[in-house]
Amino acid sequence: MNTLTLPTFDDVVAAAARIEGHAHRTPVMTSRTVNEAFGAEVFFKCENLQRIGAFKFRGAFNALSKFDAAQRRAGVVAFSSGNHAQAIALSAKLLEMPATIVMPHDAPAAKVAATCGYGANVVIYDRYKDDREQIGRDLADKHGLTLIPPYDHPDVIAGQGTAAKELFDEVGPLDAFFVQLGGGGLLSGSALSTRALSPDCRLYGVEPEAGNDGQQSFRTGAIVHIDTPKTIADGAQTQHLGHYTFPVIRRDVDDVLTASDAELVDCMGFFASRMKLLVEPTGCLAFAAARQMKAQLQGKRIGVMISGGNVDLARFSELLANAATAG
């Protein structure tokens, strides 16, 4: 078995230079209501206000920026129905290279349209019949495309780590930091920045209660695979951590926590009504876990990642209306 070369904080610093002027330096927001409720200082890093509406633009742009001339000419391929698809499509457009995105036949029309709108070539597959990885690999082989996965890639991880780097650069060291966990690109990148810039900070990954493969993996020391979890947190419906993300998480993260769908909806309502922020369900995971630990966080300085804001308004209203009738 060959050993992997894991990304380091130096890679995050290099990624920050590459994305500068292309990615937004997103705002860090605070809320007096939250600070009073927590008896603590809470800093929200607002990646819902990033380009394409999620942090994934950082990793995608960093990875594509490193392509050589031949890779640029042939272009990139990715398979995703979500934020990674739009991140790759926009990055490819900005860097003037062709992009092919492999999407399931039941992907929301708005997401397909957004991806096409960035000029990407969309290839549809049948979620129940086709093997998307095989389709991606075939396209890569046949046309010389470079496959960029949504999380398990050193350049993607380094790019995602720039959001946490910006947070620490702006507010200084923290006592605790809560970050969403799907496949682990955001969390492992954030871990590199945390250990470099705020070494004593307790770092927590947060995933949906319905799919706690990351928690199981973290606690047992081996990557656990699960079926696609049923949760409204569609950005974290991953089935397993990656070969690059897992060792970094295991080494640098303090614990992995979970949040229920009901808690996520509650946080969505809070962000919208009190902070005027539109946050997608997955983007609420970190704050939901911080609220669970409120009693232990008194008097501390706390970072909370808001990872994305891509939820259509009909879905947003439906989730909040259902929660209201459920009391």
Q: Judged by CB under 6 A, which of 136, 154, 208, 235 binds ligand PLP? A: 235
* Torsion of the alpha carbons at 316, 322, 325 and 327, rounded to the nearest 10: -90
Minimum CB–partner distance for residue 111 and ligand PLP (Å): 12
* 180-198: b (≥16 Cβ within 10 Å) or e: bbbbbbbbbbbbbbbbbbb
What is the largest distance, in Å, between two alpha-carbon atoms of the chain? 58
Q: Judged by CB under 6 A, which of 184, 208, 211, 303 binds ligand PLP? A: 184
43 is a contact residue toward ligand PLP (CB under 6 A)? no
**DSSP bridge pairs for 255:** 204
Q: Which residue is nearest to ligand PLP (CB)?
A: 308
Task: For residue 231, give both structure tokens.
Answer: 């949760």
81 is a contact residue toward ligand PLP (CB under 6 A)? no
182 is a contact residue toward ligand PLP (CB under 6 A)? yes
281 is a contact residue toward ligand PLP (CB under 6 A)? no
Q: Is 136 helix (H, G, I), strand (E, B) or coil?
A: helix
> Smaller CB distance to ligand PLP: residue 65 or 80?
80
What is the rounded distance in angstroms from the CA atom of residue 308 to the CA atom of residue 281?
A: 9
Crossing angle of helices 83-94 and 109-117, rounded to 10°:
10
Q: Which of 45, 65, 80, 81 is catalytic?
A: 81
268 is a contact residue toward ligand PLP (CB under 6 A)? no
**Window contacting ligand PLP (CB under 6 A); options: 3-11, 29-37, 126-134, 230-238:** 230-238
206 is a contact residue toward ligand PLP (CB under 6 A)? no
Q: Judged by CB under 6 A, which of 52, 76, 236, 311 binds ligand PLP? A: 236
Minimum CB–partner distance for residue 54 and ligand PLP (Å): 4
Contact in structure between 63 and 156 (CB atoms under 8 Å): yes
> Smaller CB distance to ligand PLP: residue 211 or 235?
235
115 is a contact residue toward ligand PLP (CB under 6 A)? no
Q: Within positions 292 to 311, which residues make up the interface with ligand PLP, using CB under 6 A? A: 307-308
271 is a contact residue toward ligand PLP (CB under 6 A)? no
DSSP 42: E
Q: Annotated catalytic, 81?
A: yes
Q: Judged by CB under 6 A, which of 14, 63, 99, 186 binds ligand PLP? A: 186
Q: For residue 83, which of 50, 126, 106 has the smallest C-alpha distance?
A: 50
The answer for residues whose C-beta is within 8 angstroms of residue 130's C-beta and 6 or more apart is none
> Smaller CB distance to ligand PLP: residue 150 or 303?
150
Q: Annotated catalytic, 56?
A: yes
**Window contacting ligand PLP (CB under 6 A); options: 35-43, 67-75, 278-286, 290-298:** 278-286
Query: How many chain residues bind ligand PLP (CB under 6 A)?
Result: 23
Q: For residue 6, which of 181, 188, 147 has the smallest C-alpha distance?
A: 188
DSSP secondary structure letters along 236-303: G--SS--TTHHHHHHHH--EEEEE-HHHHHHHHHHHHHHH-----GGGGHHHHHHHHTGGGGTT-EEE
What is the rounded distance in angstroms from the CA atom of residue 80 to the CA atom of residue 147?
A: 12
161 is a contact residue toward ligand PLP (CB under 6 A)? no
- Active-site residue set: 56, 81
Instruction: Point out which residues bind ligand PLP (CB under 6 A).
Output: 54, 56, 82-83, 150-151, 160, 180-187, 235-236, 238, 280, 282-283, 307-308
